[in-house]
Amino acid sequence: MSATQDKKLTDIVIGDLMISSEKVAHVQVNNPLEHALLILVKSGYSAVPVLDSSYKLVGTIGKTRILNTVLGLERFEMEKLSETPVHEAMNTDIPCLSKTDTFMEGLKVVINYPFVCIADDEGYFDGILTRRVILKQLKRDHHTFKSNT
Ligand code: 2BA
C-alpha cells in the first residue's frame, strides 16, 4: 500500500511523495559540463540536481544552460564542454523544500518548476518532488472525492 493511499491532501507531506536520492540522477559540482551533458542525454532528463562532494544540494543543471554556456559568437565551442566545471553554468536560484513541508507547498512550487529539490536542515540532499507525482496525487484525490459523493 502506498504511503498516501488513505490520506487527505491536507495530511500528505513531501516525504510521502518524493523520489528518494538513490533514484535521482545527479551530477557533482566539479564535474566538467561534458559529464553533465552525458548524464542528461543518457537519462533523458532536461535538468538534474547538482550536489557537492558531501552530497549537499548546490543547484541544478540543464541542457539549455549547458548549450548557452558553450555558445560562442558564431558557433558552439564544444571544446568548452571539457574545460568548464558544472558550478560555472549551474542554476543556484532554485526553490528547495523539506520532507516535512505540505502537499500544498509542493503544488505551489511545481506550477513554475518541473521538479523541486528536497533537502534537510543542513542542506543534505534527500530527493526531488516532480510535477508528475503532484498531478497523479491530485487525480487520485479527485477520483476518491467523486466516488464518495
Ligand atoms: P523533464 O526531463 O523535462 O521531463 C518531463 C517529463 O517527461 C517528466 O515529468 C516525465 O513525465 C517525462 N520523462 C522525461 N524523462 C523521463 C524518463 N527518463 N523516464 C520517465 N519519464 C520521463 P516529471 O516526472 O514530472 O519530472 C519533472 C522533471 O524532474 C524532469 O523534467 C526532470 O528534470 C526531473 N526528474 C524526474 N525524475 C528524475 C530522476 N529520477 N532523476 C533526475 N531528475 C529527474
3-state secondary structure 9-58: HHHCEHHHHCEEHHHCCCEECCCEHHHHHHHHHHHCCCEEEEECCCCEEE
132 CA closest ligand 1 atom index: 25
**pLDDT tens for residues 37-93?**
999 999 999 999 999 999 999 999 999 999 999 999 999 999 999 999 999 999 999
CA distance 120 to 116: 13
Whole-number Å distance, alpha carbon 148 to ligand 1 midpoint, is: 32
pLDDT band, very low/low/confident/very high, at 135 (cuts 50, 70, 90): very high
Whether 130 lines ligand 1, by a CB cut-off of 6 Å, is: yes
Cell representation of residue 139: 487525480
Residue 116: helix, strand or coil by DSSP? strand
Q: What's the longest Cα–Cα distance across the chain?
A: 62
CATH (residue range 9-147) = 3.10.580.10
Is the sign of the CA dihedral 77, 82, 85, 91 positive or negative? positive
Ligand 1 site-directed mutation target among 21, 38, 43, 45, most atoms within 8 Å of CB: 45
pLDDT at 149: 59
Q: Domain ranges for the chain, please list them.
A: 9-147
The values of phi and psi at residue 72, to 5°, are: -90, -165
Whole-number Å distance, alpha carbon 118 to ligand 1 midpoint, is: 16
pLDDT at 7: 80
Whole-number Å distance, alpha carbon 30 to ligand 1 midpoint, is: 23
Q: Which whole number is the average pLDDT over 6-33?
A: 95
